[in-house]
Structure 1
């Protein structure tokens, strides 16, 4: 009788230890799965950020090429086509999302083909920033752009260098950009504002006699 009771008690202890091992194993598995889910989420954010930056660089280089191509000259032979594009006089004057600035040549003195070309360039860039590359068929909603994309074009009066910038909203705060394009448009935390830019040097040439 004692042997039987001892055997039953031993089996109960073994069952208890087995249940504890199962629970510990489940806990370890759950922690591992949670870590894997977090890693997957972070990987998706990183991939999206990389895609956004690549798209922004395409838009920046697109406008830089347009500016360089507009070679309108004045009567003395100086290149003046760039004047149509240097419209950003402050960080709140931009093209793209929520834009209220007319996407036309910024210099009223330029007319003819150079102005027509510049108007078309600025309007096209404004539409691309707003996502016109891809639209929803049913509603016509533009969905092909960056997240809150805005574009700025400034010119340094001293050096003559033209800067083309594209700003958008990142998924997580990093370091606030020194470029001021579209500041205060992405919430109180400016570290969410992403900016890429390129610079265009338009040579001021004249006719040599």
Structure 2
């Protein structure tokens, strides 16, 4: 009479459990990576929408950006890297949605920037320091280079900002990469640059 080995089935079950556990751990890691990439995608989409919105605000108040078909270096919307946006307070009792933009001018431009910055702070992980150092609205004749470190510690793609008044306008939006996992965000700061004619 042959006797069956009783422990062999148990080993098969344990090996199966190990394989299933490895598969589940792989799925969890994949899901975690997927969530991080989805968040990165949402932030990039928000940056694109915000840059386009600012460009449209500038187009609707064109006299504050362009004079004699040239970009005004000192226009109300223009912001060089390392400076602050020139915002203006809203009129008493008005909100960003109820204010009157029909008159145009420098006051409307300042209010546009204030309302736009409120949206930036609501939609992107930014600080006031990051906004001052890494955001820009400037004339740019060249394509913005990828961010790289230089001797001054500048990590923005703003080497394309120029004082050339005939160049198209470039809007640069930056945000902190909260996942610190994106290959396109050196040193944890991501950028979106939009160049366009007005």
Q: Normalising to structure 1: TM-score of the pair?
A: 0.62
CA spacing shift, 1:53–1:38, aligned 2, 3 Å: same
Number of the residue aligned with 1:162: 169
Long gaps (5+) in structure 2: 89-102, 140-161
C-alpha distance in structure 1 between counterparts of 2:110 and 2:70, whole Å: 15
Number of the residue aligned with 2:194: 198
Number of the residue aligned with 1:174: 183
Q: Give the Å deviation of 1:148.
A: 2.1
Number of the residue aligned with 2:126: 148
C-alpha distance in structure 1 between counterparts of 2:71 and 2:62, whole Å: 5
C-alpha distance in structure 2 between counterparts of 1:71 and 1:148, whole Å: 28
Q: Give the Å deviation of 1:72.
A: 2.4
C-alpha distance in structure 2 between counterparts of 1:39 and 1:115, whole Å: 50
C-alpha distance in structure 2 between counterparts of 1:18 and 1:113, whole Å: 81
Q: Is the 8 A contact 1:70 1:118 kept in 2?
A: yes
Q: Is the 8 A contact 2:71 2:169 kept in 1?
A: no
C-alpha distance in structure 1 between counterparts of 2:11 and 2:104, whole Å: 82
Q: Is the 8 A contact 2:61 2:109 kept in 1?
A: yes
Alignment of 1:49-64 (within 5 A): 49-64=40-55
Q: Give the Å deviation of 1:79.
A: 6.0
Long gaps (5+) in structure 1: 95-100, 105-111, 132-144, 177-189, 203-209
1:86 aligns with 2:70: no
C-alpha distance in structure 2 between counterparts of 1:163 and 1:113, whole Å: 21
Q: Normalising to structure 2: TM-score of the pair?
A: 0.66
Q: Is the 8 A contact 1:56 1:146 kept in 2?
A: yes
C-alpha distance in structure 2 between counterparts of 1:72 and 1:173, whole Å: 39
The number of equivalent residue pairs is 150
Q: Runs (4+) of structure 1 moved beyond 4 Å? A: 79-82
Alignment root-mean-square deviation, CA: 2.7
* Bigger radius of gyration: 1
Q: Alpha-carbon deviations, 1:45-67, whole Å to 9, x = none? A: 11111111111100000000111
Alignment of 1:102-141 (within 5 A): 102-104=86-88, 113-131=104-122
